[in-house]
Amino acid sequence: MAIDMDKLNAFMGRFVGDIGAAMHAGTVLLGDQLGLYKALAVGPMSAEQLARATQTDARYVREWLSAQAASGYVEYDAAADHFHMTEEQVFALATEGSPAFIPGAFQLVLGALRSVPRLAGVFRTGLGYGWHEHDAMLFQGTERFFRPGYAANLVSSWIPALDGVDSKLESGARVADVGCGHGASTVLMAQAYPKASFVGFDYHAPSIEWARKAAAEAGVADRVTFEVAAAKNFPGKDYDLVAFFDCLHDMGDPVGASRHVRAALKPDGCWMIVEPFANDALQDNLNPVGRLYYSASTLICTPASKSQEVGLALGAQAGEKRLRGVVTEGGFKHFRRATETPFNLVFEARP
């Protein structure tokens, strides 16, 4: 075996970064759960001061702060022996409602990793591993990870990119949010369009219970209901809008889901499909965003699809061409990319 030491050293450098990031994920979750980021956002502090502010142990906090500084998540002033956060770090780590809030992503990752021992088995058998089989941390992290992006884009740009949908919602439309999870997308739409009525569907009963509480806390429970139902059999007809947020690729039979949406829409209704950003060719997705989505798809999306009937397993990097095929096979004649972000593709489908 002929080893190129320069190439090996470069690879090992990437490894050090990756293993450091993997270990760092746990510290981010601790900082989020214990309120360390939010407390430090107030201003420069020593480890002892931060420990007092959060009722934690100073020695643990010192080590945690050192890890954050080494990762660039907080700043360290050696002369004063104080730690502080920049405005950008506060925005991303301590401001829950910001569009850049990231602790939920780490919660999602650590929740998914708890299933790795069982996923090793389905790799050998080819069987599936359902969304409902994962640790509850995954469900909570998924909502907190996706909610900032929805809050930043859904009402301001995604819905306006759909032909005539914004005006229908403003005047009062019937909307089904399928695969709604904890209901973040449903609640956001209801808050923005008080004349419209919304129903969220998800096959996962614990998520529906969570979504009902979220709607009540947001003050929209009078116009939002949540029901346990799957994408191929959710009830109701004559919807003006059916929305699928980051879930079509998780479904075992997305073509069957497409057919059911087609039957549930009004003749002039619209199906909004939000999916992870992906190019059609594998080689064009070999980048940091593709790395994130292919990894998530390996641990979550592909096993979820294979656990259901058909088990098409589109994966989180299906790309526009494959998604178009699924939607048109389900009976839709019109399909277009309405808009996009670096992390999402937004499609409009019509009968």
Show me where the domains of the chain are located.
19-94, 147-350
Cα separation, 249 vs 310, whole angstroms: 13
Task: Give me the pLDDT at residue 119, please.
Answer: 97
pLDDT at 234: 98
Residue 69's nearest CA partner among 45, 91, 100 is: 45
For position 110, what pLDDT does the model report? 96
- Cite the DSSP H helix spans in 126-164: 136-153
Q: Mapping DSSP to helix (H, G, I), strand (E, B) and coil, where does residue 146 land?
A: helix
Q: How far is CA 158 from CA 169, 247, 264, in A?
A: 13, 16, 22
Classify strands 239-245 and 224-228 as parallel, antiparallel or unpaired: unpaired
- Per the CB < 8 A criterion, the answer to whether 351 and 262 are in contact is yes
| 42 contact partners, CB below 8 Å, separation of at least 6 | 53
CA distance linking residue 66 with residue 119, whole number of Å:
34
Strands 344-350 and 82-84: unpaired
Q: What is the pLDDT along the chain (351 residues), one digit of tens a residue?
A: 899 999 999 999 999 999 999 999 999 999 999 999 999 999 999 999 999 999 999 999 999 999 999 999 999 999 999 999 999 999 999 999 899 999 999 999 999 999 999 999 999 999 999 999 999 999 999 999 999 999 999 999 999 999 999 999 999 999 999 999 999 999 999 999 999 999 999 999 999 999 999 999 999 999 999 999 999 999 999 999 999 999 999 999 999 999 999 999 999 999 999 999 999 999 999 999 999 999 999 999 999 999 999 999 999 999 999 999 999 999 999 999 999 999 999 999 999
Q: How far is CA 194 from the centre of its chain?
A: 25
DSSP string computed for 232-287: TT---S-EEEEEEES-GGG-S-HHHHHHHHHHHEEEEEEEEEEEE---SSGGGG-S
Query: What are the backbone angles phi and psi of residue 28, rounded to the nearest 5°?
Result: -65, -45
Domain 19-94 fold: Arc Repressor Mutant, subunit A (1.10.10)
Helix ranges restricted to H, 225-336: 254-264, 288-296, 302-306, 319-329
pTM of the model: 0.94
289 contacts: CB under 8 Å, gap ≥ 6:
277, 342, 343
Q: Closest Cα to residue 112, out of 308, 314, 317, 293?
A: 293
pLDDT score for 97: 84
Residue 90: what pLDDT?
Answer: 98
* CA–CA–CA angle 234, 238, 240 (5° rounding): 100
The helices-and-strands tally (H runs, E runs) of the chain is 15, 9
**Topology (CATH) of 147-350:** Rossmann fold (3.40.50)
**What was the pLDDT predicted at 295?**
97
Determine the Cα–Cα distance for residues 118 and 115; give it in Å rounded to an integer: 6
Encoded amino acid at 217, one letter: E
Closest C-alpha among 291, 257, 297, 289 to residue 273: 257
